Structure 1
């Protein structure tokens, strides 16, 4: 049966792929049945323009940031991809919100499973340009630019596709209300303090920059960063060697890892003299946070980051 559907997809989409390679069009309306074109609106995206249903009911998302924003806007997708092995790193900030959503694969979606879901819109990032012709024949497909340093823009993009601009406005109101409350409670306590954030992977330590997802939240809370981190960087982060570990220091140090190997590497580094010399370590101001929350790059994850800032900056002695 699996092979049957595979060849069915190829048979249906083969001609379209062939013509797409020889004749590019920026108006992708052919994927929408003619009877629906009067009830759709054009959305600009990285592949051109696509006519999407006015009120999509069967939504498929192709990244965690898209999934989180879709859920935050009050829409439960019928299917979604995931960039991580959830058995290794749980998506704690999503809690039970993904219950009932069909898992479509790690990074790349299973086209057969996606076709069977009969979505009326597919939303993702431009990672999926190579398979865009296939996706757009399953359903109207829109791809946003993958910009790790501008997660706010992707929220607006998803809201536009779903017709949920009012919901987006409410989300921003909630976000800034929490930020203002955090600032009010903190007061002048951290006026002269530096907040550092690093994450650890396989044999590598990364410094989180000012223009990252977590960095933007810390900045909105008027919390100061060490000079080495108060910069913009491609993808919002940059690696440092063990000899440069001083760049990770601050009055408060938030630490996370994005893999089991990262956990093991971090444990080894914590025994090293260079780690022990860090001011935050010596003053016992090192706090371990959930990587998937602090790298969520979607509105749903902001509450988890702000919760941690309350927990470790306000509620600790």
Structure 2
């Protein structure tokens, strides 16, 4: 009986959302605070307009792992989030035990979101546009611009503004730069003449992260050289790696992130390519397997975990 009621309630919300969209010109939805609640919320300008966000939200839903990680590092634990992995990365395990899964970013469970009664929803443009009207009828919804993982820094600052945590955000960035400096100092000149490559395998493709990707920007901040093909920048920060261009990952050190069994099998196929044995990291036995969701995390918590790997493989392993 409760389930039927929730479905009817959800259908009514969808109808209201459709009417709201029809009444608006363009995509922008404006939400203005009434006088009696104006002191309890602050206006946030975002991709689809302006939304009055609660000053101290208690039931936050995030529609993306970057948004979820950003909220967590700022001291706000979402009640639910969309995920893109089955096995949680080590840096998120302790947090996910009390965060409900809403499915994937491409297909979040709107009925579950409604049942959770959130007081704030934080989304990312590419995965929220089609359902923004419905979401905004459930709770105040803000949507950050997202141009791929090169946007990870800007999106963190956006989430901090939404949550009213700009001072905490400054401390997060201070901690990030402090660790970067510690890594640079620890590395010294040991990588002076070496290039570090990174390749990730997921969802049927093999890709390389360039210098403006999430992991690529961390490597660049740490002063780590990349092979010429990975030192470039493109929109989105990643490019498809064809077997014919395998030497694009020809670094002295190679980090590999394979997401799941299918990716592991594809990696084994890649190793059968005659060019594989010509890669310097293969010849020097300096290939390191790293966690895919971590190196593609797009938030400061994941960045800290990436730096843990860099310390482990580039500093500590050389000292032992």
TM over 0.5: yes
Counterpart residue number, 1:102: 100
Conserved 8 A contact 1:28-1:51: no
Q: Distance in 1 between matches of 2:17 and 2:220?
A: 47
2:234 aligned residue: 233
For residues 49 and 82 of structure 1, what CA distance do their matches in structure 2 show?
26
Q: Secondary structure at the match of 2:81?
A: strand
Q: Return the TM-score normalized by structure 2.
A: 0.93
Structure 1 pair 37/17, CA: closer, same or farther in 2 (3 Å)?
A: farther
Report how many residues are paired: 313
Q: Which residue is 2:30 aligned to?
A: 28
Q: 1:16 to 1:238 in 2, by over 3 A?
A: closer
CA distance in 2, matches of 1:258, 1:132: 30
Matched, 1:111 2:110: yes
Asked whether the equivalents of residues 16 and 137 of structure 2 are also in contact (C-alpha less than 8 Å), the reply is no
Of the structure 1 ranges 260-269 and 46-55, higher mean CA displacement relative to structure 2 is found in 260-269
Determine the C-alpha separation between the residues in 2 that align with 1:100 and 1:207. 33
Q: 1:12 to 1:305 in 2, by over 3 A?
A: closer
Per-residue CA shift, 1:140-174, capped at 9, x if unaligned?
00001122212000000000000011111111111
SS in 1 for 2:255: strand
Q: Report the counterpart of residue 39 of structure 2 in structure 1.
A: 38
Q: Distance in 2 between matches of 1:196 and 1:253?
A: 5
Uncovered stretches (5+) of structure 2, i.e. residues with no partner: none
Runs of 5+ in structure 1 lacking a partner? Answer: none
1:277 deviates by: 1.5
Using a 3 Å threshold, how does the CA distance of structure 1 residues 270 and 247 change in structure 2: closer, same or farther?
same
Question: Within 1, Cα distance between the matches of 2:201 and 2:97?
Answer: 30
**How big is the shift at 1:183?**
0.5
Residues in 2 aligned to 1:15 and 1:143: alpha-carbon distance in whole angstroms: 20
CA distance in 2, matches of 1:280, 1:169: 38
TM-score by length of structure 1 reads 0.93
Q: Which aligned runs of 4 or more in structure 1 are off by greater than 6 angstroms?
A: none
Partner of 2:65: 64
Q: 1:58 to 1:236 in 2, by over 3 A?
A: same
- Aligned with 1:8: secondary structure? helix
Partner of 2:271: 270
1:185-216 CA-to-partner distances (Å, cap 9, x unmatched) read 11111112111111123553212111100000
Aligned partner of 1:210 in structure 2 is 211
Pairs within 5 Å for 1:172-183: 172-183=173-184
2:243: which partner in 1? Answer: 242
Deviation at 1:258, TM superposition (A): 2.4
SS at match of 1:178: helix
Q: What secondary structure does 1:191 align onto?
A: coil
Shift in Å at residue 230 of structure 1?
A: 0.7
